[in-house]
Amino acid sequence: MSKELIIPQERILNRIVVLRSEKVMLDVHLAELYEVETRALKQAVRRNMDLFPEDFMFELTEEEIEIVVSQNIIPTKQHLGGAKPFAFTETGVAMLSSVLKSKRAKEMNIAIMRTFVALRKLALGYAEIMGELEKIRKKVTGQDDQINLVFEYLKQFEAVKRQELEYQNREKIGFKTKK
């Protein structure tokens, strides 16, 4: 009986990070999801480097390693075993399925691709919302002046009404007759 693929999308989402303005997954996380050793994953990639141009995969710099450690993406530098991690873009993750032949790797790749697509849809929805908010902001800009003008007119109207009321309620002067 084969082990079913039950990986919550959140678990994959938590493994996607942004480095060099790209959404990527680190080799250590991919190896964990594919249930292979990180060493084996890296070895398969190194054997097929021609399939992984820089827009598919890149090696992290020391500064980037410090960033992923400081943000708790990986616990410590020792977690990497002394090797610099590879970061795979969405297309690089897709290419991994041609390098890793196991059924688990192929199933996991499908799940990861679906997560990347869902993330992209979410980003598009966010962009639409931000666009609508910008339209509203532009409509509202300048409304402050108009609202302040309305309040100014109301103050003037109130002053006129107050004067009229004071005039009507004033003590009358002049000759008074008894009724």
Count Cβ atoms below 10 Å from residue 112 Cβ, excluding itself: 25
Q: What is the CATH number of the domain that holds 114?
A: 3.10.260
Q: 96 is in which domain, residue-wise?
A: 9-131
Same structural domain, 77 and 155: no
pLDDT value of residue 80: 66
Residue 176 inside a domain? The answer is no
Task: Give φ, ψ of 12 to 5 degrees.
Answer: -70, -45
What gap in Å lies between CA 35 and CA 8, rounded to an integer? 15
32 and 103 both lie in a single domain: yes
Per-residue confidence (pLDDT) for residue 35, from 0 to 100: 85
Q: Are residues 158 and 114 in the same domain?
A: no
Question: Residue 19 belongs to what H/E stretch?
Answer: strand 16-19
In a domain, 111, yes or no: yes
Query: What's the pLDDT score for residue 58?
Result: 93
Q: How many domains does the chain have?
A: 2
User: Looking at the structure, do residues 146 and 97 belong to the same domain, yes or no?
Assistant: no
| Residue 3, pLDDT score | 46
Q: Which residues of 20-45 are buried (b: 16+ CB within 10 A; e: fewer)?
A: eeebbbbbbbbbebbebebeebbebb
Q: Are residues 67 and 109 in the same domain?
A: yes
pLDDT for 1: 38
Same domain (yes/no): 103, 152: no
Q: Are residues 143 and 127 in the same domain?
A: no
Please identify every stretch of the chain with a pLDDT value under 50, giving residue numbers as ranges: 1-4
pLDDT tens-digit profile of 120-135? 777 777 777 878 888 8
Question: Which of 114, 126, 122 has its CA nearest to residue 8?
Answer: 114
Distance of alpha carbon 6 from alpha carbon 29, whole angstroms: 16
Q: What is residue 177's predicted lDDT score, i.e. its pLDDT? A: 75
Model-wide pTM > 0.85: no
